[in-house]
Amino acid sequence: MFEKLLRWLRSMLSQMFDQGVGADIILSDRMTSALALWARMYEDGGPWCGGKSGIHSLRLPAAIASEIARLVTIEMGVSVTGSARADFLQAQLGPFLDSMRRHVELGGALGGAVFKPYVDGGRICIDAVQADAFFPTTVDTSGQMMGAIFCAQIKRRDMIYTRADHHEFNSGTYTIESKAFASRSSSTIGSPVDLTAVPEWANIQPLVTIEDVDRPLFAYFRIPRANKQDRQSPLGVSVYADAAETIRDADEQYGRMLWEYEGGQLAVEMDESMMKHDPDGSVSFPRLEQRLYRRRAGDMAEGSNFYQIFAPALRDEAYSRGLNTILKRIEYQSGLAYGTLSDPQEVDRTATEITASKQRSYSTVRDIQKALQHALDDLLYSMDTLATLYNLTPAGNYTAAYDWDDSIVNDPNQRKQMFWSYVTAGKFPMWRYLVEFEGYTEDEAKTIADETQADFNNPFGFAQTPPASGSGDA
């Protein structure tokens, strides 16, 4: 569907949205193919799975995207404060934040997503547009997206309705132009129809112009990795883009291991004369015995047994080690710690290896959190602009605060050791360390700290004799 929409939009762009003869969508053939591949890998494992190949997918792409989304959003909190306008924005943002993990997972799978707010009655709703449903048309000199076409489809009985919204920012002016089309076949977009033909789109204005804005009224959440598929593209890449070929290796290795179990099943090869025959002469077995017994090929040698046991030694351990090695490589290429996909019992032999492995995952998560925070800032700006334009609530300032729970990003054990070194060096109060890292109350911690300090002052427990009263020169 993505590639079909792209071809259609390219052929109709200048006619639909008055973009001029030279207008085009900023999406190369390589990026188009990459997006299609990432989507298929996420949905069913990849083009190498199923069909005649018989390869069973481990569904690693979906697992990688899901795990990264979990780590990014597990303790995520966003607070918008400062005025009645801020309270309104917080209320409108809340339902979207509740499903943020799903949006981050889909964005991670396809390299990014667009958060696009719109007004519905007296409230602001937010669309999360996946990377295979929007098409960039203009970018600025820094590579930031300034214009794009967003597509949506609705099926009604035997009709398929497609809506294309063209958003364009140019010198402080923001324009939104919407078109609708209807078709009875999925192979074509069809003919133009009024937006009112679809009840959900009836309140959408065909043309909206907004003045005095300083950025587009949508937010692009881009996975912060270099785009090796197309270095000039403004689009991000999948969190598993670098591991695509290795993921295929893992699926194939898993297939070999399954075949080892299949081909190595216990069997009894018997002479056909010893088997039960149906009236028509065919050999029959009870259903549960069909996998156990099979005909013995060739003639039996004189004096040999009428059966032979087939029970080869399985090589599953070697296949398992090979698969685990491939999984570790996928973890490295995807920015995950060893043991996330691979067997944790076979990794991280030294403390240095453990730290390096975990820090790789922490860095991946933190970078994506920064990108998501930037996108949410742009989203709040867009929502604030719409609230003013449609007079949804009185104007007012707002401040957004983000809580990502640093314990997910920073190694807690490393942080604890660092602060203990501060305590022993006299640079951090002992009682504060006990409160933050050991769970004591402030009063308990201060009591323990005082006792500990007394022990430090008298480490050998000598009785301390107070100075004699009246001592001094006679």
Choose among 45, 61, 43, 63: nearest CA to 53.
Answer: 45
pLDDT per residue rounded down to tens, the chain (474 residues): 666 667 666 666 655 665 544 457 888 889 999 999 999 999 999 999 877 777 888 999 999 999 999 999 998 999 999 999 999 999 999 999 999 999 999 999 999 999 999 998 889 999 999 998 899 999 998 889 999 999 888 998 889 999 999 999 999 999 999 999 998 887 778 889 999 999 989 888 899 999 999 999 999 999 999 999 999 999 999 999 999 999 999 999 988 887 766 665 656 666 555 556 666 656 555 444 555 555 555 555 554 555 556 556 666 678 788 899 999 999 999 999 988 998 887 655 555 666 677 888 999 999 999 999 999 999 999 999 999 999 999 999 999 999 987 655 555 676 787 788 888 888 788 888 998 888 898 888 889 888 877 655 554 454 555 555 454 444
What's the Cα-to-Cα distance from 378 to each of 142, 235, 283, 322, rounded to whole Å? 16, 17, 72, 45
Same domain, 226 and 124: yes
Domain span including residue 104: 2-238+368-406
| pLDDT for res 103 | 97
Q: What's the CA gap between 369 and 104, in Å, rounded?
A: 10
Look at residue 341 and tell me if it is in a domain: no
Rounded distance between C-alpha atoms, residue 179 and residue 195, angstroms: 7
| 434 and 402 in a common domain | no
Residue type, 199: P
Of the three residues 273, 294, 311, the one that is the final residue of a domain is 311
Q: How many domains does the chain have?
A: 3
Q: 385 with 419, same domain? A: no
Q: Tell me what pLDDT residue 410 has.
A: 57
Phi, psi of 460 (to 5 degrees): -100, 0
Q: What is the largest CA-CA distance in the chain?
A: 133
Write the CA distances from 434 to 429, 447, 454, integer angstroms.
9, 11, 17
Token pair listed for 21: 């003869």
Structural domain contains residue 244: no
Alpha helix (H) ranges present in 349-405? Answer: 351-389
In this structure, what DSSP letter does residue 345 have? G
Q: Residue count of the chain, please give it.
A: 474
Query: In this structure, are residues 387 and 88 in contact, taking their beta carbons and an 8 Å threshold?
Result: yes
3-state helix, strand, coil in the chain (%, to 5): 45, 20, 35
Judge if 192 and 144 occupy the same domain.
yes
- 292 vs 107, 168, 212, 262, 375, CA distance in Å? 48, 68, 78, 12, 60
Residues 416 and 307 in one domain: no
Please check whether residue 345 lies inside any domain of the structure. no
At residue 277, the pLDDT reads 61
Same-domain status, 115 and 146: yes
In a domain, 348, yes or no: no
- Same domain for 401 and 417, yes or no, is no
Instruction: For residues 162 and 105, state if they share a domain.
Output: yes
Residue keyed to tokens 């013995």: 296
Residue 168 shares a structural domain with residue 272: no
DSSP-assigned beta bridge partners for residue 149: 135, 166
- Measured between alpha carbons, how far apart are the two ends of the chain, in Å? 106
Element spanning 150, H or E: strand 145-156
Q: Are residues 192 and 160 in the same domain?
A: yes
Whether residue 73 is contained in a domain is answered as: yes
Cα 164 from chain centre: 26
420 and 383 fall within a common domain: no
Match 């203009």 to its residue by tokens: 138
The pLDDT score that the predictor gives to residue 261 is: 64
Question: Given this model, what pLDDT does residue 472 score?
Answer: 47
d(CA 392, CA 386): 8
Domain assignment present for 120: yes
Is 320 contained in some domain? no
Residue 258 lies in a domain: no
Q: In this structure, are 200 and 306 located in the same domain?
A: no
